[in-house]
Each structure stands twice: as C-alpha cells, then as structure tokens.
Structure 1
Amino acid sequence: MNLLNELIVYQKPKSPISEAYRSLRTNIEFANVDNDKKLILITSSKQAEGKSTTVANLAVTMANMGKKVVIVDGDLRRPRVHKIFGHTKIGGVTEILLSHCSYKGCVKKTEVENLDIITSGQTPPNPSEMLSSNSMKQILEEVRNDYDYVFIDSPPVAAVADAVILSGMADGVVLVCACGRVEVDMVRNTLQALENAGAYVIGSVINNIDVHDKKSGYYYYSPSYYGYCEDSNEKRKRKKRKKKQAQSGLKAASGND
C-alpha cells in the first residue's frame, strides 16, 4: 500500500498540521466523555473542502492513541478513502448492503496500527435509497459495537441527500469548511439542514486559512476550532478591487509618460 501525501499525520507526524489534527482529536474526545459519541460523520457543504483528508488524518491520530478505529466510506458517488489508503473500492458498503459479503469480510487493514477501513464498494444506481435502508442502520450498529470510534466520510450536504440521511444515524457530526471556497450562507444552510435532520453537530473544522491575510473577513467559532476565515464572496471582491487599483496605477503611469 502506498499512502498519499495528504495523509500528513502519517507522513510528517511532527508537522504543525499534524499537531492541528491532534488538537481536533482532543476536542472530539472531550465531546465524548460519556462514551456516547463513537459514530461520527465527517461532511462539508460542497465538494473540495477537505472532508476526506480530514477524516483520514483524524482517524490516524485516534489510532495512534491506541483506539480501535474504522473509517466507513459513505460517499458512494465519489469515494476517496480507498485511494488515500491504497486499496480498491470493490468489496465495501455496497456489497455489504447487497449481501454479497459480510461486514467483517469487507473490512480492510491499513498500514496504520489499529486503523481499518470499509470502502464504498461499487457505485450503485440508487445511493440515497441504499444509505437510508434499515440494513445500513444495522451495519453501522454492528460496526459501532466493534470499534472505539467509527468515522463516516459522506458526500457534501448541499450536493445530495446522502449526508443528511447518514447524519441521523450518527452520534455526532463534524462539518469541514474551507475558507475562500464556501460562502457563509451556504454554511448556515448546511447547519440548518443537519439540525432539521436531528443531527448533533459537534463542531467545525476550518481549513484553507491564510493566517497572514486579515484585511477583511469574519471569525468562526466552534467547539473544535476558533480561527479567522475570509468569506469567498468578500475574497472575490477584494481581488477585483486590487485589479482595479493596479489598472488605475498603470493608467496614471501612462499619463505621466
């Protein structure tokens, strides 16, 4: 198996980013003092916000603490967990739901001690229907009983109903937000959709932060992170202002020639 570079806590365990993931792990453990939040869904508002990278690195940090951990790839449409850990996606959630293999027969080992994965399986024609089935609930309950932590990677909330469906089966949800890639209103709508589904949002992971850029924006606060994040709309406006200023400067320079 060849782990991708995005699994930073495995490749560079002493890096600042790895330390940030360990801080996230600590906050998850604080939220689980009663041991009632073992099955945790990791999702985002839209594509390319880093949810799969987050779930993989968080799972590794938990496994490094001696916890028995499994990642379930609940993104049956655009799965990535198998790629991160160097496995094929075949023989996973879809096959378990279709009774082609048992849950334990589909568990795949990783190079990381104490960490297993259950890949997505083949892409079905009806992902939402499969994920909302009683069989899916039973499978997750079985997995929950066998591991200290179960992390589910799901599709983005705004894209399809899958994440909202799975959020109702999870003990808690962590929302990944990428600065400059997602609008504040979309994040609010995502949180509202999760709340309407009865999901318990543990907190948010804010990534893609430019710590040197504090000219405009807003602050996020959640149980898992406090940091500065610039709204993507505001970021675009600022770029336009800079472009206009640069063009004005060029015109002024031309006029002085």
Structure 2
Amino acid sequence: MKKRLKIFNGENVQKYDYLVTKEQPLSYTAESFQKVLINLDYANIDNEYKVIQFTSTLASEGKSTFISNLSYLLGQKGKKVILLDLDLRKPKIHRVFNSTNRNGLTDYLSGKIEYKEMVRHSNEVGVDYIVAGEKTTAVVNVLEAKKLKELIAELREAYDYVLLDTPPVIAVSDALYIAKIADGVIFVVAQNVAKKTLVKEAVETLRKNEINILGTVLTQVNLKSGEYGYGFDYSYKYEDGEE
C-alpha cells in the first residue's frame, strides 16, 4: 500500500511500497495530507459524499499515491474505507498494495467469483480494497453494468468512504461514465505534467457533464531546497470548490 517517488539521474523512479503518511508522519508531505483531510471533512460536514471519484487530466499525476495515503489517514481516524480500482485499462491499486490483479472487479461482475473473494483486507486498520481483475476490451459495458451500480450501493452501506481510482479525463471517456455512480470528484493536477489548456479542457468537460467537483489536489510540487529537509517531494493542496 505504498509508493515512493525518487529523483534518479533526473528521472522519476516509482516504487509502490512506501506510504509517506505512515513512514514519515512529521514530514511536509504528511502534513499536507492532513490539511487535505481537514478540508474534506469540512466539505463533507453533512456526510453527503461517501463515494468519491479521483481523476486527472493525464496519466501519471499521482492519483493512486494520493488515494492510498488518504485512505490510510482515514483509517487512522477510525473510518472504514475501501478503494476500488476502476482504471480498468491501466490498473494500479494491486501494485499499491503489493498484491496481484486477480479475482477483482471484472471477475466478480462476470460471475466468476463471489463478493467475499473480491474484497481484500490490507495491513492497515480499516482499509479494504478491490483490484481491477481480468482485463477486458468491453470497458464501457462494465462501467455501465447494473451489477456495478448494485455493488457501489452495497459498498456505500458497508463503508464510511468508497474511494474510486479512475482513468484521466482527456485520455478516455471512462471517468465520465464512472461519475454517474459517484457523489463527487476530486481532481488531481500534477505540477508541470499537463498543460494549462488541457487542464482547463478536462475541467470544462466535467462541468459540461454536470459532474460535482469537490475540489482539486496539486501534486508533485517541487519544494525549495532545504525546506523540511527535502529537496523534492510530493505536496498536496486541496481547494474546495476551485479548479
């Protein structure tokens, strides 16, 4: 359930075996996550948002890392959380938990496994997850399936938060289909990854489809040398109602 981002020879080297909010709770990054959690609590003061979707403009903007760290903090607060990998074309949740991508969502929807075989328990208190499962070419059919809607309704009753890891908006239309079953979207923007014009296009696409944007998260921020002992790290910023 972990991922580390390092700088090696000028390139990003990703490992999905490091959870910064757990391993470095006093770091600038962990503190930024705590601020995100506080803002989410304020945005969800009436408990209207249980099924939350995470998307971005392009790939590699830090959605899976963000979700895994946020779920850990929610679990530490006594919340019961489940992560669902709905990025069926490029799934990552199994890598976040250092697990396999077998016996997942698509296998359950096709009737190959039962509910109890699909839901997995992580090493972190209160945090469960569902991997994407066997690859399929009929992604849209899966996302529009009645059985998926029924599953989300079941998870809504069983958990305090259902966090959905979904594809970027620009690449495919999957995120728009998924938004129909979510209470709201948190939009992830990585510094210096997507051009402003593309970010604006992605946000406008969500708005045109009347999708509820709960807030935005700024990731992969280059910190000033020496600040909190880091030359480069993840920073997260949550802006309620702003895109």
Q: Scaled by the length of structure 2, what TM-score is found?
A: 0.84
Partner of 2:28: 16
CA deviation string 1:207-256 (max 9, x = no partner): 1223449xxxxxx9831889xxxxxxxxxxxxxxxxxxxxxxxxxxxxxx
Q: Kindly indicate whether the alpha-carbon contact (under 8 Å) linking 1:205 and 1:224 is maintained by their aligned counterparts in 2.
A: no
1:75-224 alignment runs, 5 A limit: 75-212=87-224, 222-223=239-240
Percent of residue pairs bearing the same amino acid type: 31
Select the structure of larger CA radius of gyration.
Answer: 1
Q: 1 CA distance for matches of 2:36 and 2:2?
A: 25
- Report the AA paired with residue 83 of structure 1: R
Contact 1:27 1:224 in 2 (8 A): no
Q: SS at 2:129's partner residue?
A: strand
- What do the CA deviations read for 1:186-217 (whole angstroms, capped 9, x no partner)? 1111112112222110000011223449xxxx
Counterpart of 1:67? 79
Paired with 1:52 and 1:2, the residues of 2 have a C-alpha distance of: 9
Deviation, 1:176, is: 0.5
Equivalent residue letter for 1:130: V
Does the 8 Å CA contact 1:7/1:57 hold for their aligned counterparts? yes
Question: Hey, what's the Cα distance between the residues in 2 that align with 1:210 and 1:81?
Answer: 25
Higher relative contact order (CA 8 A, sep 6+): 2
- What does residue range 234-249 of structure 1 map to in structure 2 within 5 Å? none
Number of residue pairs matched?
220
Q: Tell me the distance in 2 between the aligned counterparts of 1:129 and 1:6.
A: 34
Determine the C-alpha separation between the residues in 2 that align with 1:72 and 1:7.
18
- In structure 2, stretches of 5+ residues that fail to align are 4-15, 226-236
Distance in 1 (alpha carbons) for counterparts of 2:197 and 2:2: 38
- Determine helix, strand or coil for the equivalent of 1:177: strand
RMSD of aligned residue pairs (Cα, Å): 2.1
Q: 2:2·2:65 contact (CA, 8 Å) conserved in 1?
A: no
Pick the structure with more helix per residue.
1
Which shifted more, 3-12 or 131-140?
Answer: 3-12
Structure 1's 23 and 224: CA in aligned 2 closer, same or farther, altered over 3 A? farther
Q: Distance in 2 between matches of 1:221 and 1:130?
A: 31
| Structure 2 Cα separation of the partners of residues 198 and 15 of structure 1 | 37
1-structure distance, mates of 2:238, 2:132? 32
